[in-house]
C-alpha cells in the first residue's frame, strides 16, 4: 500500500474514533425551570430580603448588599420595612444619587450610632471612588470596633450643626446598599472595580435577587400584580389581566420591563376606550 494512502486512512480512522467518542458521551440534560418554580424562587428571595432587612434594623446584620435589576421591588421591600420601623425617619436615611468621599464621611458620622441605618440606593458612583470605597470597607468591617478615618489637611464641617468633624470615629451603625450592579458577574468577569466589590462582599451579607432575564422579570411582575400592585388603580380583575397580557405581548418592545412600566400601562387601561392599547404602545414602547 502506498505510504500516502496509509497515512490518509490512519488520519481518517483517528478522526472517526474521536467522533465516535464524542457521540457516545452522555450529555447532561438541560434542566429548565417552570414558571411556578421561578415564581417560588423569586418569592423566597424577596422573603429573605425582608427578613435580612429586619436583621439590619436590629443590628444583627451590620452591612447588607442587595443586588437586582431596576424597578422590580428591591427598594420597595427595604423601604417598607424601614418605614414601618422608623416612620418619622429619625434613625434611618436613604441616600440616592452622587456621593463623594467627604460627603460620605459626613453621612457615616451622622449615622454612627448603634440602631441607626444608612441606605445607599442607586448610588453606584460611590463604588468608583477609591477613597469612598475605603471608607465603606472600614464601615462594613467585621471587626469588633470599626474605626473610620479621613485624615486630610482640610477641616470637615457638618453644615447642619456647624460642628467640626473629627478625623476619626468609631462607627456602630448599619449600612444597606441597594444596587443594580451584579457583583458576582462583575467579579467573575474581571471588572476593574472587582477587587473593591469583592472586598465589600467579604464584609457584608450579599443578597442576589436572581432575576437575570426577561422571563424572570415578567414572572416577578405577574407575581406582584397578583399580590395587589394594581388594586388601588380602579381596575377590575379582567382589566388587570389585560394589563399583564399587554406587558407579555410587548415585552421585547417596552422601554423597560418593570413594575413602574406595569403602572404606566395600568393608567392607560384605566382611561379605557378602544384606543388604550394604541396609547400604551406609543407611550411605553420603542418605535
DSSP string, the chain: --HHHHHHHHHHHHHHHHHHHHHHS-PPPPP---HHHHHHHHHHHHHHHHHHHHHHHHTSSSEEEEE--TTSSHHHHHHHHHHHH-TT-SSEEEEES---HHHHHHHHHHT-STT-EEEEES-GGGGG-HHHHHHHHHHT--SSSEEEE---SSPPEETTTTEEPPSEEEE-SEEEEEES--HHHHHHTT-TTHHHHHHHHHHSEEEE----SHHHHHHHHHHHHHTTTTGGGT--HHHHHHHHHHHHHTTTTBS--SHHHHHHHHHHHHH-STTHHHHHHHHHB--
Express each pLDDT in 247-286 by its tens digit: 999 999 999 999 999 999 999 999 988 999 999 999 999 9
Whether 197 has a pLDDT exceeding 80, the answer reads yes
Whether 287 has a pLDDT exceeding 90, the answer reads no
Q: What percent of the chain has pLDDT over 90?
A: 77
Per-residue pLDDT, 19: 47
Express each pLDDT in 206-239 by its tens digit: 999 999 999 999 999 999 999 999 998 899 999 9
Whether this prediction's pTM lies above 0.85 is answered by no
Per-residue pLDDT, 152: 82
Higher-pLDDT residue of 25 and 137 is 137
The chain-wide mean pLDDT, for the chain, equals: 89
- At residue 164 the predicted structure's pLDDT band, cuts being 50, 70 and 90, is confident
- At residue 23 the predicted structure's pLDDT band, cuts being 50, 70 and 90, is very low
- Domains in the chain (CATH in brackets) are 35-208 (3.40.50.300), 214-284 (no CATH)
- At residue 13 the predicted structure's pLDDT band, cuts being 50, 70 and 90, is low
Q: What percent of the chain has pLDDT over 70?
A: 88
Amino acid at each position: 500500500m502506498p505510504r500516502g494512502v496509509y497515512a490518509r486512512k490512519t488520519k481518517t480512522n483517528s478522526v472517526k474514533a474521536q467522533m465516535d467518542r464524542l457521540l457516545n458521551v452522555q450529555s447532561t440534560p438541560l434542566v429548565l425551570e417552570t414558571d411556578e418554580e421561578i415564581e417560588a424562587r423569586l418569592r423566597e428571595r424577596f422573603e429573605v430580603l425582608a427578613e435580612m432587612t429586619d436583621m439590619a434594623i436590629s443590628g444583627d446584620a451590620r452591612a447588607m448588599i442587595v443586588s437586582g435589576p431596576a424597578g422590580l421591588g428591591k427598594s420597595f421591600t427595604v423601604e417598607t420595612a424601614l418605614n414601618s420601623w422608623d416612620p418619622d425617619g429619625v434613625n434611618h436615611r436613604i441616600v440616592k444619587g452622587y456621593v463623594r468621599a467627604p460627603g460620605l464621611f459626613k453621612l457615616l458620622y451622622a449615622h454612627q450610632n448603634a440602631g441607626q441605618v444608612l441606605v445607599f440606593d442607586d448610588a453606584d458612583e460611590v463604588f468608583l471612588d477609591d477613597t469612598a470605597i475605603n471608607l465603606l470597607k472600614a464601615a462594613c468591617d467585621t471587626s469588633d470596633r470599626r474605626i473610620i478615618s479621613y485624615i486630610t489637611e482640610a477641616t470637615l464641617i457638618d453644615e447642619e450643626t456647624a460642628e467640626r468633624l473629627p478625623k476619626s470615629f468609631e462607627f456602630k451603625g448599619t449600612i444597606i446598599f441597594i444596587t443594580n450592579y451584579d457583583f458576582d458577574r462583575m467579579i467573575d468577569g474581571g471588572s476593574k472595580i472587582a477587587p473593591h466589590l469583592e472586598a465589600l462582599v467579604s464584609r457584608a451579607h450579599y443578597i442576589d435577587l436572581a432575576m437575570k432575564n426577561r422571563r424572570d422579570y415578567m414572572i416577578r411582575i405577574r407575581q406582584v400584580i397578583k399580590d395587589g400592585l394594581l388594586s388601588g388603580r380602579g381596575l377590575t380583575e379582567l382589566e388587570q389581566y389585560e394589563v399583564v397580557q399587554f406587558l407579555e405581548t410587548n415585552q421585547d418592545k417596552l422601554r423597560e420591563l418593570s413594575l413602574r412600566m406595569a403602572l404606566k400601562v395600568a393608567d392607560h387601561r384605566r382611561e379605557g376606550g378602544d384606543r388604550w392599547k394604541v396609547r400604551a404602545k406609543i407611550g411605553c414602547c420603542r418605535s
